[in-house]
């Protein structure tokens, strides 16, 4: 799952500390552990990667490609707290849509468009 947090003008991104995409930016994201719901996992991942508390607002979409083992659930979230990078992130920042850094995954642009359109 992936968390999209922002105010309509900005989006929260993490600089990835691990592969794939180490050094590039993407949404706070991760995998569901056994016994977790996707929403519980998302709240945990946001806290681990950004130091923020998250409240899940709504599902944005489900993203999958033929031949790819990962099915990504993207959620709109509201966040609060003190922003600080965690174990899987070298940095965390809010960016304007006009000044995005290099993104780790091609699908991230589509997910942001879907988020902004709904």
Considering only CA atoms, give the Rg of the chain.
Answer: 13
pLDDT at 36: 97
Q: How many independent structural domains does the chain possess?
A: 1
Domain carrying residue 13 = 2-117
Confirm if 2 and 103 have CB atoms less than 8 A apart.
no
pLDDT at 72: 95
Tell me the pLDDT tens digit for each residue of 63-84: 998 988 889 999 999 999 999 9
pLDDT at 69: 85
Strand duo 72-80 + 2-4: pairing: parallel
Flag whether pLDDT at 45 surpasses 90. Answer: yes
The token pair that represents 66 in the structure block? 């033929």
pLDDT at 70: 87
pLDDT at 8: 83
């Amino acid at each position: 799952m992936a968390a999209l947090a922002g105010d309509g003008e900005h989006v929260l991104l993490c600089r990835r500390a691990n592969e794939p995409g180490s050094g590039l930016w993407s949404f706070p994201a991760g995998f569901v552990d056994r016994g977790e719901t996707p929403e519980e996992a998302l709240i945990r991942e946001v806290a681990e990667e950004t130091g923020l508390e998250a409240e899940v607002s709504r599902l944005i979409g489900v993203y999958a490609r033929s031949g790819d083992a990962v099915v990504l659930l993207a959620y709109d979230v509201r966040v609060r707290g003190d922003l600080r990078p965690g174990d899987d992130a070298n940095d965390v920042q809010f960016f304007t849509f006009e000044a995005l850094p290099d993104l780790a995954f091609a699908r991230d642009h589509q997910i942001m468009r879907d988020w902004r359109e709904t």
